[in-house]
Amino acid sequence: MESLNALLQGMGLMHLGAGQAIMLLVSLLLLWLAIAKKFEPLLLLPIGFGGLLSNIPEAGMALTALESLLAHHDAGQLAVIAAKLNCTPDVHAIKEELALALPSVQGQMENLAVDMGYTPGVLALFYKVAIGSGVAPLVIFMGVGAMTDFGPLLANPRTLLLGAAAQFGIFATVLGALTLNYFGLIAFTLPQAAAIGIIGGADGPTAI
């Protein structure tokens, strides 16, 4: 019985959180839409597959070395990190300090976690190298552009106006967000309104 209990405790499903369970279901839904319904497969298939890998219980594939250290809850190691950040050796307190810390300080804490024997997950490395650097989105949409059939556009050049008009959605959305300030509903700064406006154009996947 003890062996069975140890086996169950060692299974990843025993550590499955509610958030992970929801995201796994969402990821499966995206995969189903991409494969069975052929709905935006170039976008939904990698998003769904990445969501599955990121939310596998106890795998830590999307965690950085520092996040792995915090998830491990080792009191001695937390005390070392907390001493560097001048905060209490509590996971939540450390996360709050890290959120406010400069990127250089965050990098130092990451290196300290590596020195303690923790390594980033493969998805965390991929994010840093490909997505964080901005290379992957460029390569992806270069590929999508290369696959685009411009035959209908060349046959009817007037449809180019539709694509150009769609970009006015950016300005309309920015003005709409700023209008909310005027009525006192929600307060958006100009940079925030501009960020919201990006999704108002015809390049939603690029903005995502």
Tens-place pLDDT, residues 177-187: 999 988 888 88
Whether 180 is covered by a domain: the verdict is yes
Domain of 54, in residue numbers: 2-59
Domain count, the chain: 3
Tens-place pLDDT, residues 2-28: 665 655 555 556 667 888 889 999 999
Helix ranges (DSSP H) in the chain? 2-10, 18-35, 41-54, 65-72, 75-85, 91-100, 103-115, 122-126, 135-147, 151-155, 160-166, 168-182, 190-198, 204-207
Whether 28 is covered by a domain: the verdict is yes
pTM: 0.59
Whether 73 is covered by a domain: the verdict is yes
In this structure, the answer to whether residues 161 and 192 fall within a common structural domain is yes
